[in-house]
Amino acid sequence: MIPLTYPVNSNWISIMDYPPTIMTGGTGFPASNDWLEAMQWIKTNTPEDSVIVSWWDYGYWIQTLGERATLIDSSTLNDWRIKQIANILLSTPNEGWNKLNEVNADYVVVFVAGQKTDAQVNGENIYFLVGGGDDSKAPWFVRIAEQPVEKYVHSDNIHKTDYFWNETLLGQMVPYSTLLYYNEQTKQQSDRYIPGFTAVHVKDIKYGFNDDTPLQLIYASPSFNDEESNTPLAVLVYKINKNYSPQIYPIQQ
């Protein structure tokens, strides 16, 4: 018998206690049923021949639980296809709408992870986008798409630029807007990004169900609408608006 010392919690029991990735969306948040409920909604509320665009992380979930076709998943070997999806997400809304139609897509699934604070501004809850959602993966999207990083992401490689939030399809699909930037140590706030400051957000759905926009939000997972939840893991399903006219879309300043 050879005596061995294992690290604390490094055993099969602790490993089995860790929730499957689909329960947390790959974030550090507690497990939830948001992804499972979103996949069930897709399965029962979209046509069987639908094509759904999402980042490759969620491809298998959509295929197996949602029973719908996707363009990329964890086994995609064609780099050009992954690059294509990254470029679609970073395109302007008009360009993104055109590209989605070119690949015969019907829906887009986006994942956003927010953390509610105890504070309110003008009666609205405020949130931090603390990582794990598609907005936090923007630096990878930019590099894969071979776009200039500084155009979309600030020097800290965390906070996104105004161009990302206002002029990209993904930025418009994230249902939050930046309210201000705050420095916890100095208790200062700013209306523009300053290194060392953290963005504070409020909920803001830019593409509503009845809006004349490139995409229309048709489903948001339960945690996003639960005001009692401190960690809304928002799984969002957008329908591509086939009746949209690109020339009338107002470019935001």
Structural domains of the chain, ranges and CATH numbers in brackets = 33-112+135-170+207-248 (3.40.50)
CA 253 → CA 26, 167, 212, distances in Å? 33, 8, 19
CA distance 52 to 68: 7
Q: Which residues contact 67 (CB under 8 A, 6 or more apart)?
A: 42, 43, 48
What percentage of the chain has pLDDT greater than the value 90? Answer: 67
190 pLDDT higher than 70: yes
The helix (run of H) or strand (run of E) holding residue 224 is helix 222-225
Across the chain, mean pLDDT equals: 87
223 pLDDT higher than 70: yes
Question: Of 73, 61, 68, 56, which is closest to residue 24 (Cα–Cα)?
Answer: 61
> Whose structure tokens read 């799984």?
235
Residue 232, classed as helix, strand or coil, is coil
CB-CB contact of 81 with 137 (8 Å) = no
Across the range 109-126, mean pLDDT stands at: 88
- What does the pLDDT read at residue 53? 97
Q: pLDDT digits over 22-74, tens only?
A: 888 878 777 789 999 999 999 999 999 999 999 999 999 999 999 999 999 98
First to last CA, the chain: 71
CA 188, 193, 199, 200 dihedral sign is: positive
Phi/psi region, residue 85 (left: phi>0; alpha: psi -120 to 50; beta: rest), is alpha
Residue 222 one-letter amino acid = P
Q: Where are the beta strands (DSSP E) in the chain?
A: 51-53, 69-70, 107-113, 115-121, 124-128, 176-183, 188-190, 198-203, 215-220, 233-240
Q: pLDDT digits over 141-157, tens only?
A: 999 999 999 999 999 99
